[in-house]
């Protein structure tokens, strides 16, 4: 029954990948920005939570409640101060700015926290699990992460489809100039999109930190996971991202079942296969 267990664990991990990839997908969908600092932001959130937990002794859920809104504010400011300026300088500029940001974040973390590998102790909740039957046991943390990811994706989907601001976001994503003409302030809308993206990144970063170890150089490999989830699922579709995250999670988990060294390679190869045979992704979203 090892294989079934691997599939289930992979699906649960996939939820986390999807949560993490949502921000990337949103920023690309709305602003055409591929945020190369995406993974590093998650690692920054992990380190921030670590510092808060060990510095103040606050329980983890309070840290979570503090960090996520803080990142949303940071996201809004980053967009208004840094990214908006780069948007007007052409597509290369945004890529270079986020890449520069990634290098800066990584090396500041390295100077402040050293290169040691860390992890956040989730307590009994982090390690506890319940048994489904003899061979399959599901960790509380994995299940909670998965449910949280689905809830956040559903909330973002509702926000995009039902609220006025969400409509403006979709309109700006379809055609910025026209949206501006009918009264959407694209800079504000972009700021909101980045704020949501940063908040989900922080949330995902905290979940990653409880599941597995991290160090200042972890960001780029995380970014690759998010990117793969987005492309496998289909650009511009939130549910596609969830599906993509799950496909990636299951593939990695099955790869690990064969040989632990194959974990990453299996994920990359599925990504390349999707690229080669179904470049629009499994669920073709709005790509324009």
Residue 207 in contact with residue 223, Cβ under 8 Å? no
Residue 100 binding other proteins, by CB under 8 A:
yes
Residue 30 binding other proteins, by CB under 8 A:
no
Residue 97 binding other proteins, by CB under 8 A:
yes
C-alpha–C-alpha distance, residues 71 and 59, integer Å: 19
* Whole-number Cα distances in Å, 50 to 16, 53, 55: 19, 5, 8
Q: Is 64 exposed, middle or buried (0-12, 13-18, 19+ CB in 10 A)?
A: middle
Residue with tokens 């079942």: 257
**E strand or H helix that includes residue 224:** helix 219-233
Residue 138 binding other proteins, by CB under 8 A:
no
Q: Is 181 exposed, middle or buried (0-12, 13-18, 19+ CB in 10 A)?
A: exposed
Residue 230 in contact with residue 287, Cβ under 8 Å? no
Residues 248-267: x where in contact with other proteins by CB under 8 A, - otherwise, as a string: -------------x--xx--
CB of 109 or CB of 156, closer to other proteins: 109
Judged by CB under 8 A, how many residues of this single chain contact other proteins? 46
Among 52, 93, 136, 143, binds other proteins (CB under 8 A): 93
Sign for the pseudo-dihedral over CA of 60, 126, 255, 13: negative
CB of 124 to other proteins, least distance (A): 35
Residue 242 binding other proteins, by CB under 8 A:
no
CB of 168 or CB of 248, closer to other proteins: 248
Q: How far does the chain reach from its first CA to its final CA, in angstroms? A: 44
Residue 286 binding other proteins, by CB under 8 A:
no
CB of 115 to other proteins, least distance (A): 9
CB of 101 to other proteins, least distance (A): 7
Residue 99 binding other proteins, by CB under 8 A:
yes
CB of 155 or CB of 275, closer to other proteins: 275
Among 1, 55, 57, 92, binds other proteins (CB under 8 A): 92
Exposure string for 250-268, b = 16+ CB within 10 A, e = fewer: bbbbbbbbeeeebbeebbb
Which residues form the interface with other proteins (CB under 8 A)? 28, 32-34, 36, 82, 85-86, 89-97, 99-104, 106-108, 110-111, 220-221, 223-224, 227-228, 231, 235, 261, 264-265, 268-269, 271-272, 275-276, 279
């Amino acid at each position: 029954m090892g294989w079934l267990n691997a599939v289930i664990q992979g699906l649960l991990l996939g939820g986390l990948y999807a949560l993490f990839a949502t921000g990337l997908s949103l920023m690309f969908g709305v602003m055409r920005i591929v945020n190369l600092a995406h993974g590093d932001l998650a690692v920054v959130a992990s380190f921030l939570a670590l510092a808060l937990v060990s510095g103040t002794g606050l329980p983890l859920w309070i840290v979570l409640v503090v960090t996520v809104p803080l990142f949303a504010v940071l996201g809004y400011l980053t967009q208004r101060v840094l990214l908006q300026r780069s948007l007007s300088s052409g597509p290369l500029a945004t890529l270079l700015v986020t890449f520069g940001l990634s290098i800066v974040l990584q090396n500041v973390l390295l100077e402040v926290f050293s290169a040691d590998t860390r992890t956040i102790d989730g307590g009994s909740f982090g390690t506890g699990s319940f048994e489904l039957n003899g061979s399959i046991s599901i960790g509380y943390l994995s299940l909670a992460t998965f449910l949280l990811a689905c809830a956040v994706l559903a909330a973002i989907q509702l926000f995009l489809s039902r609220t006025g601001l969400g409509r403006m976001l979709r309109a700006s994503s379809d055609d910025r100039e026209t949206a501006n003409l009918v009264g959407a302030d694209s800079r504000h809308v972009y700021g909101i999109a980045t704020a949501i993206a940063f908040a989900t990144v922080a949330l995902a970063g905290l979940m990653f930190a409880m599941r597995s170890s991290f160090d200042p150089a972890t960001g780029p490999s995380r970014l690759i996971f998010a990117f793969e989830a987005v492309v496998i699922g289909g650009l511009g579709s939130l549910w596609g991202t969830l599906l993509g995250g799950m496909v990636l999670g299951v593939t990695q988990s099955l790869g690990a079942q064969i040989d632990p060294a194959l974990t990453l390679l299996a994920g990359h190869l599925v990504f390349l296969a999707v690229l080669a045979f179904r470049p629009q992704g499994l669920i073709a979203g709005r790509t324009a």
